[in-house]
Amino acid sequence: MIVADSIPIIRPDVLYHEVEHDVRGVLASGILTSGRHVADFEKAVADFVGVDHAVATTSATTALHLSLVALGVEQGDEVLVPDFTFPATANAVIQTGATPVFVDSGIGDFSMDPESAAMHISDRTRVIMPVDPFGQPADHLALARLADDVGARLVVDAACSLGATRDDRRCGAHGNMGCFSFHPRKVVTCGEGGMVTTDDRDLAERLRLLRNHGAAKKSTPGLEFVEPGFNYRLSEIPAVLGLSQMRRIDQILLDRRTTAHRYDGALSQVLGVSVHKTPPCATWSYQSYVVVIDSGLNRDAVIAKMAEADIETTIGTYACHQNPAYATWCQDPAEFPNSALFADQSLTLPLVPSMTTGQVERVVEALVTIVEDM
Ligand SMILES: *Cc1c(COP(=O)(O)O)cnc(C)c1O
């Protein structure tokens, strides 16, 4: 009997020979916290995204928190967030003392629905904070118009969307700020890391100040603490890892899109499985390849059966309103029908670097057999 290798959801695309020289250099220099490599990494991401400034942080979660604090978001303010997201988006809002206002997804679209968002705008709305789920950009034009109408800001949780585009802009360049993640589940990884991107020089300066304890340089020795800040600094070795992947980011994205399009082709006619289509104004980064299993079928049983075939799959992501942490802010589950459907029925398939057609076929065949038997 031939035993097939197991197929994981994702594999970090870090190559030892690409980082060895710089990691040795960092260790030899003794500069382990933020230094030259962090600055180079920031420049590489800013140039790639097409913005003037990028500020590296320890994670997307701290990037989101820093962005909101930089805008002065505080208790009494409201921030619109999607219900269907990794809950770090909502946590960052709650940590500022502001109120998260959860918004449903669209039909056949994982991201924040602009029409639902419009219904939740109030005179306390300070920020609209959409997510680009799995690297599928939200409708930032519509959401920016909505924000402009009421004098609110647009901060994008772009944790998954490095390299995706919508309306001729790369993700991270929509709205006032974009926040990336470099967690191992993302397109580029540092192990842990994040970054805020912006075209606003004053905001970038404030992000840098708050990232480093709120401390500014003085002409005399020592620092001046201008306001209470945080330590959200990225350090050098993670920056070396991130930078090594930014040097071949086009190749990384091409590889992910090639695999995704193979899946699209193989799954387009499969009963019980639906695949969302890229709108003509967008390109996706495919941080994850996510399908939706029909409501009559048990998604969790699909995950268990795929595991028996040595294929790792998982849920898409969470509906915040289904989690006790957010009960205070989500009184009525009936408000989130699309998000609830996606949370219950979405399924992430493996998308590893250089995935072979044979691996894609094996995943598709297993999925088709399992769904047919249900
Ligand atoms: C991964 C993710 C985060 C959290 O990123 P970290 O870098 O782990 O803090 C936040 N939002 C979304 C949408 C994510 O997918």
pLDDT per residue as tens digits for the range 346-357: 999 999 999 999
pLDDT value for 3:
57
**338 band by pLDDT with thresholds 50, 70 and 90:** very high
Nearest CA to ligand 1 atom 5: 60
Using the predicted structure, report yes or no on whether residue 63 has a pLDDT greater than 70.
Answer: yes
**Cβ(348)–Cβ(322) below 8 Å:** no
> What residue ranges do the domains of the chain occupy?
16-246, 249-373
- Determine the atom of ligand 1 nearest the C-alpha atom of 134: 15
Single pTM value for the model: 0.97
Q: What is the mean pLDDT of the chain?
A: 97
CA of 146 to the centre of ligand 1 (A): 25
CA of 221 to the centre of ligand 1 (A): 38
pLDDT value for 331:
85
91 exposed, middle or buried (CB, 10 Å; 0-12, 13-18, 19+)? middle
CA of 369 to the centre of ligand 1 (A): 33
Domain 16-246 fold: Aspartate Aminotransferase; domain 2 (3.40.640)
| Ligand 1 pocket at CB < 6 A | 59-61, 85-86, 88-89, 131, 157, 159-160, 181, 183, 194
Distances (CA, A) of 311 to 107, 202, 370: 29, 48, 12
Is residue 137 helix, strand or coil?
coil
- Determine the atom of ligand 1 nearest the C-alpha atom of 133: 13
Q: How far apart are CA 362 and CA 354, in angstroms?
A: 15
Q: How far apart are CA 126 and CA 355, in angstroms?
A: 43
- Determine the atom of ligand 1 nearest the C-alpha atom of 317: 15
CATH class of residue range 249-373:
alpha beta
Using the predicted structure, report yes or no on whether residue 8 has a pLDDT greater than 80.
Answer: yes
Tell me which of 177, 183, 230 to substitute to probe ligand 1's pocket, judged by most ligand atoms within 8 Å of the beta carbon. 183
Question: Can 16-246 and 249-373 be said to share one CATH topology?
Answer: no
**2 band by pLDDT with thresholds 50, 70 and 90:** low
**219 band by pLDDT with thresholds 50, 70 and 90:** confident
**Cβ(297)–Cβ(354) below 8 Å:** no
Mean pLDDT of 44-57: 98
